[in-house]
């Protein structure tokens, strides 16, 4: 799994950081998503997919192969 985020379109809701804090954080100044782990380990994949579903701005993309 490879994760991408579009920080330019992020609205700073923070659902990703709450759902998968090992993979996502938030910028202290702007509040937008910060990707902490572009290639999370398998035990975090379900949480990453959940974060994708919960993102109100739909700025997280997951590439299952890659």
**pLDDT tens-digit readout, 4-59:** 999 999 999 999 999 999 999 999 999 999 999 999 999 999 999 999 999 999 99
Q: Quote the tokens at residue 10.
A: 């992020």
Q: Where are the domains of the chain?
A: 2-63
| Single pTM value for the model | 0.93
For the beta carbon of residue 6, count every other beta carbon within 10 angstroms.
13
Architecture per CATH, domain 2-63, reads as 2-Layer Sandwich (3.30)
């Amino acid at each position: 799994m490879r994760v991408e985020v579009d920080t330019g379109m992020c609205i700073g809701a923070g659902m990703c950081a709450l759902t998968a804090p090992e993979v996502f954080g938030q910028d202290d100044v702007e509040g937008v998503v910060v990707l902490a782990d572009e290639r999370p380990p398998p035990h975090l994949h379900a949480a990453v997919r959940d974060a994708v579903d919960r993102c109100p701005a739909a700025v997280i993309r997951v590439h299952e192969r890659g």
